[in-house]
A and B are shown apart, each in its own frame.
Chain A
């Protein structure tokens, strides 16, 4: 059996965040080297601030400046920093209760090694050189043995407040299509289309999934299907899809390959888009180096009778 295929899948997007009044003040404050907390109904100061009181659920907007100095309440050593983390040398992830706050803020603590970090140690903010109104305006915390800094009593009103941020996110996966799809893809490289038959309902799936979705049993019996098939239904696409180098308009069709019990999807070419019809008989057109058929074109056979494919709609 050939080796099961595997490939990287990177999922990446720059999400935007509307901040609302409290996060807006907090991040704008960091830009101005001011750390703000919020006062709750029972008089505690939460840093980072939240919009709603965790005890009473009331809206809270009373912003209070706290000091850029504080105490480590707990920590974990990060031996191998990864892309996008605050420091590129090993550091501690630390919860820091800033002087004047009742809760702790998570950030990086720059220290030479785990032996130099302990719960209860005193630290201060190391500000980033360029600040934009983001949590990374705090470059990290660093050890500090001076007196607590005195906040200036800022209440969170700033010129040009930050109201939104962009938060890029990225996930790295290793994707495997599994045994059945791998077999299908290997057959494609010989320009054969191979489905699998369910041992229970006898339906032929192409591409195969390795299991029948209705019977819930594994499939293994391979069946050659096509290469010819019937257009069961379609639409004419008039808007250009992202990352697709296809001129519009084009026809996107459901194609029931001969011998398959489920239509697959493909583009129709070799015929003007406005002459494509349900029941059109088509065959795949392969291009050198491509894994899948580039498109399907008319075979010239008479159209299939509606009765022969209506159950596949």
Chain B
């Protein structure tokens, strides 16, 4: 028996900011969920199950927060699942929800991911003082910066590519009312003059710390037929994992990422992603990850990704726009960040992305990764239903 086609009929986000001191965690997730239901013109009673995701519990110090969020998300009396795969969790949460619809377990599923980073400190949550171990000398940026240097060595990319990505993403964010950073006076010179934190990564090439939530309503063919607005159809979705560090790991272009993309393209019937995919919303917490992922996801040959960035292909009006929303570089409520990528892909093919809409976007990839580049989740959505 074939799978049930899965459609996105509702999307909701909070306006992402550094600190939402006016709402509890329940109030934060509620806001996104309510907006997704309004977009779908559905009520709590129309939802059959809720799938929620966030990054480690240590980030807010609420153990298993999903238990306390059941009434805020209308989940009382319904199945509720929690997903956790580090930074990729927003993507894998959406995929778990989509699989419940595809398997015809549920007709309509509300999926949501959040982080309230202001209630804690992610840096602390990720660097516990484990006895006997040499302390990590550098924090999150220091973890990824050596991999960026390795990419630069391997590809021969000029030093300026990272600043081009940051400048583009911050300008895209100006078109997105939900984005956290709205740097109206941003210039390329300012990005390039910002302090070098973890050389080769500059301050302006890193993501902010945000409070926010993102929600989507996923439904089956019958639900899509009743939808009041255009829907996004899922054409493929996959997750892959590998260890954080192992002998033979390619830290620049992890095998798990390549395998995950290949699986998505196979499901969607994509032979040439560069030609057949109209735009990509990928998880770029440090600017250099744009060219790195362009290669990992098969949009460019190895060592060639930076040329797409440098030649303007990934600009909003380019041939392959990347991170139209402003990306993680402009908004990073960690647990929600993956789902925001997936939701942006869906908004684009629905034609509802507003000021950052890519004209004629018919097939868009949403991408998330997490941990030490060890968890990957991706989906490809389209404006037309999947073939067969």
Chain A contacts to B: CB under 8 angstroms: 5, 7-9, 11, 13, 15-21, 23, 50-57, 59, 163-164, 167, 169, 175, 177, 181, 185, 201, 203-205, 213-214, 232-239, 241-244, 246, 249-250, 252-254, 261-262, 265-267, 278, 291-292, 306, 310-311, 313
Which of chain A's residues have a CB closer than 8 A to the CB of B22? 18, 20, 163
Task: Number of B interface residues at 8 Å Cβ cutoff, please give it.
Answer: 66
Contacts A52-B71, A313-B250; A9 near B128 (Cβ below 8 A) = yes
Q: Which of A11, A16, A244 contacts B119 (CB 8 A)?
A: A16
Question: 13 more A-B contacts (CB under 8 A) besides A52-B72, A54-B76, A278-B150?
Answer: A11-B128, A13-B61, A13-B124, A51-B26, A175-B130, A213-B243, A214-B246, A234-B149, A235-B145, A237-B197, A238-B195, A239-B198, A246-B137
A250 to B138 Cα, complex, angstroms: 10
Which of chain A's residues have a CB closer than 8 A to the CB of B146? 233-235, 252-254
Q: Which of B214-263 contact A (CB under 8 A)?
A: 243, 245-252
A291 to B130 Cα, complex, angstroms: 14
Q: Tell me what chain A mostly uses at the interface: helix, strand, loop, or mixed.
A: mixed
Which of chain A's residues have a CB closer than 8 A to the CB of B60? 15
Which of chain A's residues have a CB closer than 8 A to the CB of B118? 16, 18
Give, as a whole number of angstroms, the nearest-CB distance from A264 to chain B: 8
A246 to B131 Cα, complex, angstroms: 20
Assess the A267–B76 pair: CB atoms within 8 A: no
Chain A proximity mask over B17-53: 1 for CB below 8 Å, otherwise 0: 0011111101100100000000000001000000000
A203 to B24 Cα, complex, angstroms: 49
Which of chain A's residues have a CB closer than 8 A to the CB of B197? 237-239
Q: Which of B27, B138, B245 contacts A237 (CB 8 A)?
A: B138
Which of chain B's residues have a CB closer than 8 A to the CB of A233? 146-147, 149-150, 153
Chain B contacts to A: CB under 8 angstroms: 19-24, 26-27, 30, 44, 58, 60-62, 70-74, 76, 116, 118-121, 123-125, 128-139, 141-142, 145-150, 153-154, 195-201, 243, 245-252
8 A-B pairs within 8 Å (CB atoms) are namely A13-B120, A13-B121, A233-B149, A238-B195, A239-B198, A252-B137, A253-B146, A278-B153
Contacts A5-B132, A15-B119, A185-B132; A55 near B138 (Cβ below 8 A) = no
Assess the B137–A265 pair: CB atoms within 8 A: yes
Q: Tell me what chain B mostly uses at the interface: helix, strand, loop, or mixed.
A: loop
A204 to B128 Cα, complex, angstroms: 27
Which of chain B's residues have a CB closer than 8 A to the CB of A278? 149-150, 153
Which of chain A's residues have a CB closer than 8 A to the CB of B24? 17-20, 23, 51
Contacts A7-B131, A51-B72, A164-B21; A235 near B138 (Cβ below 8 A) = yes
Contacts A9-B130, A241-B139, A246-B137; A313 near B150 (Cβ below 8 A) = yes
Which of chain A's residues have a CB closer than 8 A to the CB of B138? 235, 237, 241, 252
Q: Which has the most chain B C-beta neighbours within 10 Å: A5, A51, A53?
A: A51
Assess the B26–A205 pair: CB atoms within 8 A: no
Assess the B247–A203 pair: CB atoms within 8 A: yes
Which of chain B's residues have a CB closer than 8 A to the CB of A266? 134, 137
- Return the chain A residue nearest B19 by Cβ: A18
- Return the chain A residue nearest B33 by Cβ: A57
Give, as a whole number of angstroms, the nearest-CB distance from B316 to chain A: 30
Which of chain B's residues have a CB closer than 8 A to the CB of A306? 153
Which of chain B's residues have a CB closer than 8 A to the CB of A50? 71
Give, as a whole number of angstroms, the nearest-CB distance from A178 to chain B: 10
Assess the B134–A311 pair: CB atoms within 8 A: no
Contacts A20-B23, A236-B198; A291 near B132 (Cβ below 8 A) = yes
Contacts A18-B22, A233-B147, A262-B245; A292 near B154 (Cβ below 8 A) = no
A280 to B70 Cα, complex, angstroms: 55
Q: Which of B120, B128, B147, B198 contacts A238 (CB 8 A)?
A: B198
A57 to B80 Cα, complex, angstroms: 14
A163 to B145 Cα, complex, angstroms: 39
